[in-house]
Amino acid sequence: PTGDVVFAAAPEAPFLPRCWVQPLGPDAAVASALLFLDSPEMQGLLPVEEDSRRRELVFVVDRSGSMAGRKIQRAVAALQLFLRSLPLGCCFNIVSFGSTHSSLFPQSTPYTEESLSAASSFLETMAADMGGTELLRCLQHVLAPADPAINHQVIVLTDGEVCDPEGCFHLARSSAWKVHTIGVGRCVSQALVLGLAQAGSGYFEFIGDTEDMEPVVVKQLQRALAPPPLA
């Protein structure tokens, strides 16, 4: 050949549990190794099937009075990062909650330059001005019966100080939507942030007042967009 040759090889069923034993010399000493991929941290190594369903991501943001100041600023910054990282072809919406709830779009809308611009402008004026913390009513609106042809994902950004957390957990358990959470600020209800993600078969993360939030945003978005592992 006149150039470099690249040879790619892949073992058959590389992630099956297996053990190796290698003799080291005439004194009968051996080295052994065991491969067993069963922990959640290793799931990203497993082969996945393509998910041909359309994707819908709904961002639920806490705009109650307890989010005033640094918390709402951090939540808005995280949402701006999310918006600029969404893949083409997905649909999205932003739903705010406090004493009531409201949606940016009447229904989730395709991710385009126009919808990104509208959402970004909306976030520039977002404030913690919606009173109380009625997350349950908001989730009852968001977690409508799911279309099996769509991969439905919800990401909730909150400080966790909400009314009726048990009701939120029960609703998330009974929904076909996957619910992820991000706790915002130093004083966060870990019980709500962890409990809601666990009930919704999702993942949780925390964003403090000062640390870089980009790794958290990237990680949660990758999880929300990941196709399901092979059964």
Residue 20 φ then ψ, to 5°: -120, 140
pLDDT tens column, 172-221: 999 999 999 999 998 899 999 999 999 999 999 999 888 889 999 999 99
Q: Among residues of the chain, what percentage have pLDDT more than 70?
A: 78
Beta bridge partners of 31: 22
pLDDT at 6: 47
pLDDT at 174: 94
Find which of 28-37, 91-100, 155-164, 207-216 is predicted with most confidence, using mean pLDDT: 91-100
pLDDT at 12: 62
Number of Cβ within a 10 Å radius of residue 218: 13
pLDDT tens column, 22-72: 776 666 666 667 666 554 445 444 444 445 568 999 999 999 999 999 999
Higher-scoring residue by pLDDT: 77, 228: 77
- pTM of the entire structure? 0.76
pLDDT at 206: 94
Written as one string, the DSSP assignment of the chain is: --S--------SSTTS-EEEEEE-STT--EEEEEE---SGGGGGGS-B----SEEEEEEEEE-SGGGTTHHHHHHHHHHHHHHTTPPTT-EEEEEEESSSEEESSSS-EE--HHHHHHHHHHHHT--S-S-S--HHHHHHHHSPPPPTTEEEEEEEEE-S--S-HHHHHHHHHH-SSEEEEEEESSS--HHHHHHHHHHTT--EEEE-SSS--HHHHHHHHHHHHPPPBP-
Q: Which of 31, 17, 50 is nearest to 225 (CA)?
A: 50
pLDDT at 52: 52
